[in-house]
Amino acid sequence: MSERPKAPRGTFDVLPEQAALRAQVEAVARGTLEAAGYRRIETPAFEQTDVFQRAVGESTDIVQKEMYTFEDGGGRSLTLRPEITAPIVRAYLEHGMHKLPQPVKLWYLSSCFRYERAQAGRYRQFWQIGAEALGSDDPAVDAESILLLHTILGDLGVAGVRLRLASLGSHESRARYRELLTAHLRAHEDRLSDEVRERIDLNPLRAFDSDHPATREVMASAPLLIEHLGAEDLDHFAAVREMLDAAQVPYEVDGTLVRGLDYYTRTVFEFTSDALGAQSGVGGGGRYDGLAEQFGGAPTPGMGWAAGIERILLAAEHLAAREPVCDLYVALADGTAAARIAGFALAAHARRAGVATQLELGGRSLKGQFKQADRCGAAFVAILGSEGIELKDMQSGEQQALESASAVISYVLRGRHADA
C-alpha cells in the first residue's frame, strides 16, 4: 500500500482558522505601517544565489547551511529567499528608487525558506512581516522603525515582550574590534567549543551566541563592540536611544547582541517574548548602510526589521479569529429543479447587491439546512419552495412570505443596516 503524502518536514498547511488569525496580524501591521507612509512591495520567491551570498555573508549559518539552492533548467544558481532585506535592496537599485523622495519606505509580508532544524517556532517555510526604509541615515529612521514594530506587537497583544538594543558601529570600528575579539578568543582557544574555535577567523562575533558553558565563560570577559565605537557611531546610537526614551519604548542595551546576518552597521535590535520557548526571537533588524554598495550601487543607508508571523501567533495569546459574515442563507424547501434554479438566481442577485450569501450545496434536509445556516451565523434564511419564498429572521425567529427575490434582498439589506 502506498503511503499518503504529507507536507514536508518543517512546513505546514495554513488552514482556514489559522488563515483568519494571520489576516488579523496582516491587517494590524498594514494599518500601522501604511499610516506611517510605508508601501507594500513583493519580490520573487527566489533570487540569484549571489544576492544572499554577498548580502547575508559567506560565513553565516544561513549561507553555509540553510539555503535552498538549486540550478534551474538554464544552469543558473537560484536560491529560495531565506530573508527579504537583500532582495529589497536589489529591487531598490534595479528600479532606480534613489530618484524617489528619500527615504523610500517599504513593507512586505512573504514567505521565507531556511533549512533549519524544525521545532516549535522554527520552520523551513515561514512568513515574515517586515519594513525597510532606504536612503536616510537619520537616527529618527532607526527609532521610528523600532517604534513601529513595538506598536504592532503591542496592538496584537504579544505577551512578555522585551527589546534588546545595541550598535555595531561602522565597518571600520567593527574591523578594529574584530582584531581585539580574535586576540581574546585565541588567548582562550583551548576552552572554546570546536565550532567556535573553527570560526575564530571567519566569524568571531558568533561566539557570543554559543551555549557551550566554557565558551560562555570566555565570552563573559570578552571585549564588547559597544565599548569600542567611534565618536560618530556613539552620537548616532545616543540619538536613537533618546528618541526611544521620548516615545517611552522600554529597552535594554545589550552589547552581546549579535545578529545572524553580516550586513548590519550601527543600530541592531531584537524583540523577544517570554511566552516563547527556545525560539524566543519575535522580530529583529537594524541598519545596513553598506549593503547597496556591496551590490555595486551608490552608497545608500538602510534600516529595517522583520518579524516572524508564526512566532507572533504563538506569543499573541488572546488573538481570536473574526467569524466570516453571512447575511443570507438560501435554503431549498424541496429539491425541484425550479427551486434550485430560483435559489441560485437569488444568491447571484443578492451577492451582486453586496449581501454576503451562502447557497445550500450539501443536499441536506430542510432541518439540516437550518442547522448549517446557524453554523454559518446567517442573519436571514430564504426558503425557496413551490409556494414561493419565505424569509426567516434568525435572530427574532419571525418568518414571512415575500413576493420576489428583490424584495428579499431589500429586506436583508434593511435588516443589516438596522443592525450596524
Q: Which residues of this protein are in contact with ligand HAM, per CB under 6 A?
A: 83-85, 114, 116, 122-123, 126, 128, 130, 132, 260-261, 281-286, 288, 304-308, 310-311
Instruction: Give the single-character DSSP code of 17.
Output: H
Distances (CA, A) of 324 to 343, 355, 369: 21, 13, 18
Nearest residue (CB) to ligand HAM, 39 versus 76: 39
Q: Shortest gap between Cβ of 337 and ligand HAM (angstroms)? A: 52
Q: Shortest gap between Cβ of 304 and ligand HAM (angstroms)? A: 3
**Cell triple for residue 411?**
429586506
* Residue pair 230/168 in contact by the 8 Å Cβ criterion: no
**Cell triple for residue 301?**
543607508
Nearest residue (CB) to ligand HAM, 125 versus 182: 125
What is the residue type of 268? V
Q: What radius of gyration, in Å, describes the C-alpha atoms of the chain? A: 28
**Cell triple for residue 379?**
442573519
**Cell triple for residue 356?**
454576503
* Residue pair 48/80 in contact by the 8 Å Cβ criterion: no
For residue 185, what is the enclosing H or E element? helix 171-187
DSSP SS3 for 29: helix
**Of 241, 313, 321, nearest to 16 (Cα)?**
321
Nearest residue (CB) to ligand HAM, 129 versus 373: 129
Nearest residue (CB) to ligand HAM, 114 versus 236: 114
Q: Shortest gap between Cβ of 259 and ligand HAM (angstroms)? A: 6
Nearest residue (CB) to ligand HAM, 53 versus 85: 85
DSSP SS3 for 326: coil
Residue nearest to ligand HAM (CB): 308
Q: Shortest gap between Cβ of 278 and ligand HAM (angstroms)? A: 12
Bridge partners of 40, per DSSP, are 107
Q: Shortest gap between Cβ of 18 and ligand HAM (angstroms)? A: 14
* Residue pair 288/302 in contact by the 8 Å Cβ criterion: yes
Nearest residue (CB) to ligand HAM, 169 versus 283: 283
Sheet (strand 46-48) strand order? 46-48, 77-80, 69-71
Q: Shortest gap between Cβ of 5 and ligand HAM (angstroms)? A: 22
Nearest residue (CB) to ligand HAM, 291 versus 359: 291
Q: Shortest gap between Cβ of 64 and ligand HAM (angstroms)? A: 14
| Residue 293 phi, psi dihedral angles, 5° rounding | -65, -35
* Residue pair 328/350 in contact by the 8 Å Cβ criterion: yes
Nearest residue (CB) to ligand HAM, 283 versus 343: 283
* Residue pair 351/309 in contact by the 8 Å Cβ criterion: no
Nearest residue (CB) to ligand HAM, 19 versus 338: 19
Q: Shortest gap between Cβ of 336 and ligand HAM (angstroms)? A: 53
Helices (H), 307-404: 309-315, 337-352, 366-376
Bridge partners of 105, per DSSP, are 133
Q: Shortest gap between Cβ of 39 and ligand HAM (angstroms)? A: 16
